[in-house]
Amino acid sequence: EAGVAQSPRYKIIEKRQSVAFWCNPISGHATLYWYQQILGQGPKLLIQFQNNGVVDDSQLPKDRFSAERLKGVDSTLKIQPAKLEDSAVYLCASSLALAGVNEQFFGPGTRLTVL
C-alpha cells in the first residue's frame, strides 16, 4: 500500500514569508497528525485530526500556524508569517482510527529552513 505522502520535501524561505505544506495520508486512515521536529529533538505534536475535525491543537501556535483537512483526507499546514525558530522538519502521520491504540505511519517530512 502507498505510504504517507508529503510535499514539498524541502523549502527555504525568508522570515516573515508564508509557506504551506501538504500531506496525503494512507487511504482509509481516519486520524492525521502534524508534528514539528527540531534538530536534535523528538517530534512535537502540532495538531491531530479525526476525519476533518480537530482533536488536539493545544501546541499549535495559532497566531501564525493554521491547518485544515479537507473532506477528511488531504491536509495542509500553513505558517504565516514564518520566524527563524520555525526551521524544522514537519512530519505528517496517519493512523487507522482514534479508537484503540494504532500505529502511526509517518511521511518523509518537509525540511523547512527560515533565513
Which residues are near another protein by CB under 8 A? 4, 40-45, 48, 55-56, 91, 93, 95, 98, 100-109
Q: Which residues contact 25 (CB under 8 A, 6 or more apart)?
A: 4, 32, 73, 74, 75, 92, 94, 105
* Three-state secondary structure call for residue 36: strand
The residue (of 72 and 105) whose beta carbon lies closer to another protein is 105
Shortest spacing between CB 68 and another protein, in angstroms: 19
Which grid cell sits at 26? Answer: 494512507
* Three-state secondary structure call for residue 111: strand
The residue (of 17 and 51) whose beta carbon lies closer to another protein is 51
Q: Which amino acid is at 65?
A: F
The residue (of 17 and 102) whose beta carbon lies closer to another protein is 102
Shortest spacing between CB 2 and another protein, in angstroms: 14
Shortest spacing between CB 38 and another protein, in angstroms: 11
Residue 97: CB atoms within 10 Å: 12
Shortest spacing between CB 16 and another protein, in angstroms: 28
The residue (of 56 and 85) whose beta carbon lies closer to another protein is 56
Residue 47: CB atoms within 10 Å: 23
